[in-house]
């Protein structure tokens, strides 16, 4: 599963540092989510969706199988 966190933050016009502060996580943790090295826990995914004014479904997209 691929995430669209970085794309959605950019589209909303927020700075990543602000989003990390709002989620009460480190900027490094947010960077890990954006790069796909880790995924947000479900409660943080809902909070992120709320901040960005999107649905949790909008944050993730299924990767096509080959």
What per-residue confidence (pLDDT) applies to 6?
96
What per-residue confidence (pLDDT) applies to 27?
97
Domain count, the chain: 1
| Segments forming the whole domain that contains residue 34 | 2-61
For residues 18 and 52, is the Cβ–Cβ distance under 8 A?
no
Does residue 66 lie in a domain region?
Answer: no
Query: Cα separation of 63 and 44, whole Å?
Result: 22
Does residue 10 lie in a domain region?
Answer: yes
Residue 63 has pLDDT above 80, yes or no: no
CATH code of the domain covering residue 8: 1.10.260.40
Residue 66 has pLDDT above 70, yes or no: no
What per-residue confidence (pLDDT) applies to 64?
72
Q: Give one DSSP letter per residue of 1-66, joined into a string.
A: -EE-HHHHHHHHT--HHHHHHHHTS-HHHHHHHHHTSS---HHHHHHHHHHHTS-HHHHEEPPPP-
What digits encode the pLDDT tens for the residues 9-62? 999 999 999 999 999 999 999 999 999 999 999 999 999 999 999 999 999 887
């Amino acid at each position: 599963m691929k995430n669209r966190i970085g794309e959605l933050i950019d589209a909303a016009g927020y700075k990543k540092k602000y989003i990390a502060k709002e989620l009460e996580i480190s900027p490094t943790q947010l960077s890990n989510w954006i790069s796909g090295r880790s995924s947000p826990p479900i409660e943080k995914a809902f909070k992120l969706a709320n901040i960005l004014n999107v649905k949790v479904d909008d944050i993730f997209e299924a990767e096509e199988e080959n």
